[in-house]
Amino acid sequence: MINLSPSEEDTLYKIIEGVTGTCQTGNFKKDVLAANVERRIAGLGLKSFTEYLVSISEDDKEFDYFVGLVTIHTTYWFRENPHYQIIEEDVIKRINSSEGHVKFVFWSSACSTGQETYSLSFVLEKISQLHPRFSYEIFSSDIDNLSLQKAELGRYPIQELKTIPDAYHRFVHIHKDFFSIKDPIKRKIKFFKASLTEDLSSKFHHSIDYIFCRNVLIYFDGKTTFEIIKRFENYLSKNALLVLGHSESFDTLKAKYTLERNSCYRYQHREFREIHHQDDSVIKTFSNPQIIVLGASTGGPETLEKFLKNFPKPCPPIIVVQHINSRFCESFARRLEAVSGLQLRDTGKKTLLLPDSLYLSWGDYHLSVVEEKGLYYVAPNNEPLRNGHRASVDVLFESIARSRARSIGVLLTGMGKDGAEGLLKMKHTKKCLTMAQNKESSVVYGMPREAVDLGAVHIVGSDRYLSQLVRDYVQKKLGLLKTG
């Protein structure tokens, strides 16, 4: 068998770096890669390393084989199993906090022969069967064409079935010597060849909610690793989760991620201070808000928690309408009370609005604001559903417009159009300041977009920017609970 000379080994490592982008400095796995190539040269009956280089430059199939030789393929079913448990918990949590259909997009970024991808698909398939509102799509990539072909085929030795929990065996066809992935699952997965060092924006037609990039970054140098992590920001949705291998990490201080647990990093979506001023005179002269009203749907619970966290006092009463299953109304209200530091008030009956207080619908009823003798009250009502919801953001916002209270209205992330018309009526009073979350920071840019399209919004910005703006108005001058 041919043994590569030191200079030939150096040439080989430079080629590997150029093809894969991985770092070949030091001795990590280098002897394994060189041995793989040496065996291949002998197997082809070639006489020299030079002849082999000619072969891989002229023969595409041999080049693909070469890529397989010089990339490390260590993969098995449900590797680092806690990650799958974390994904399951996170997906179910987001389903329960959302209304309507929920779809998440996943990317297995170094899928090898597919065991990681299909392990993930089994977990997601189980969730989709228990939660009909949920669906998923998986992108799966690798730099090695031969591994991708095996992954796309979805056929594995029968011995590997023992490493898959019995609960997932219903997702495969079992044959004598092998098992295969069922077609309905395979149809939800798109395989493609890719290197992590290239721009893959054109590959994804939706933002990615979860990226698996496990046990691959260890083969890159620090600079390249950071570039890959930063490039992921172009693909990720707000609050997406990046899953690395247990032995991998990176400097979160230089990137927009926070470590949660078990090498799972939450992406902190970049903040856009995109501000659209449609009526500068109102923005410049508005002050002394008497009431603050907030509306949200899909993605709202987490957004509202951040929006109201440690809210400054004294402050006007804050009324929130969040589209949420009635079973979770009370727990969500209690959570918002704890995060904001405001006092949660009962809305099951007509209630006087008080400073430093928080008001939410605790069940299947709308909230309306009424003015009586110079004081403002919030009252429940059982009018028909509006825009498919009760409580409805439109009902609340329209009542604010009728009361002519000097108010700030904010429409946050959500599906549909609830709140847009109500925000427009608030704006028409000339006594209210209206705001909407921008597309870049919204989980779903539905309700805010409808408001913007209607011309109902004075200011458009990220949730973080709008939260700070509202706080600035509150801290500048506190309004009295009297009609102005």
Domain boundary among 210, 232, 267: 267
Name which of 431, 425, 436 is nearest 466 in CA terms: 436
Q: Is residue 482 part of a domain?
A: no
Tell me what pLDDT residue 27 has. Answer: 45
Give the Cβ contact number of residue 37 at 10 Å.
22
Cα separation values, 326 from 96, 102, 267, 318, 394, Å = 11, 18, 29, 20, 18
In the chain, how many domains are there?
3
Alpha-carbon distance of 375 to 397, in angstroms, equals 18
Question: Are residues 93 and 180 both part of a single domain?
Answer: yes
Q: Is residue 74 part of a domain?
A: no
Catalytic residue among 83, 323, 366, 458: 323
Q: Is residue 75 part of a domain?
A: no
Tell me what pLDDT residue 482 has. Answer: 35
Catalytic residue among 418, 458, 462, 467: 418
DSSP 234-276: TTEEEEEEEEE-TT----GGGTTEEEEETTEEEE-PPP-----
Structure tokens at 452: 């913007």
Question: Are residues 97 and 65 both part of a single domain?
Answer: no
pTM: 0.49
CA dihedral 359, 360, 365, 371 (to 10 degrees): 20
Tell me what pLDDT residue 273 has. Answer: 41
Question: Are residues 94 and 212 both part of a single domain?
Answer: yes
- Edge-to-edge strand ranges of the sheet holding 236-244: 189-193, 134-142, 102-108, 208-213, 236-244, 264-267, 257-261
Q: Is residue 149 part of a domain?
A: yes
Residue 455: CATH number of its domain = 3.40.50.180
Tell me what pLDDT residue 26 has. Answer: 46
Q: Is residue 484 part of a domain?
A: no
Question: Are residues 144 and 112 both part of a single domain?
Answer: yes
Per-residue pLDDT of the chain (484 residues; tens, 9 = 90+): 677 777 777 777 677 666 655 544 444 455 667 777 777 777 788 888 787 777 777 777 777 666 666 666 667 899 888 899 999 999 999 998 887 888 999 999 988 889 999 999 999 999 999 999 999 999 999 888 888 999 999 999 999 999 999 999 999 999 999 999 999 999 999 999 888 888 787 777 678 999 999 877 766 777 778 888 888 887 888 789 999 887 676 665 556 788 888 888 888 754 444 444 455 566 667 888 999 999 999 889 989 999 999 898 999 999 999 998 877 888 899 999 999 999 999 999 999 999 999 999 888 899 999 999 889 999 999 999 999 898 999 999 999 999 989 999 999 999 899 999 999 999 999 899 999 999 888 888 999 999 998 989 998 888 888 888 898 888 874 333 333 3
Question: Are residues 100 and 226 both part of a single domain?
Answer: yes
Question: Are residues 178 and 208 both part of a single domain?
Answer: yes
Domain boundary among 37, 69, 101: 69
297 labelled catalytic: yes
Catalytic residue among 98, 119, 128, 297: 297
Burial class (CB in 10 A: 0-12, 13-18, 19+), 101: exposed
Q: Is residue 483 part of a domain?
A: no
Tell me what pLDDT residue 479 has. Answer: 38
Residue 211: CATH number of its domain = 3.40.50.150
Tell me what pLDDT residue 21 has. Answer: 52
Question: Are residues 261 and 142 both part of a single domain?
Answer: yes
Domain boundary among 69, 93, 109: 69
323 labelled catalytic: yes
Structure tokens at 376: 């403002």
SS3 label, residue 286: coil
Residue 349: give the domain boundaries: 280-476
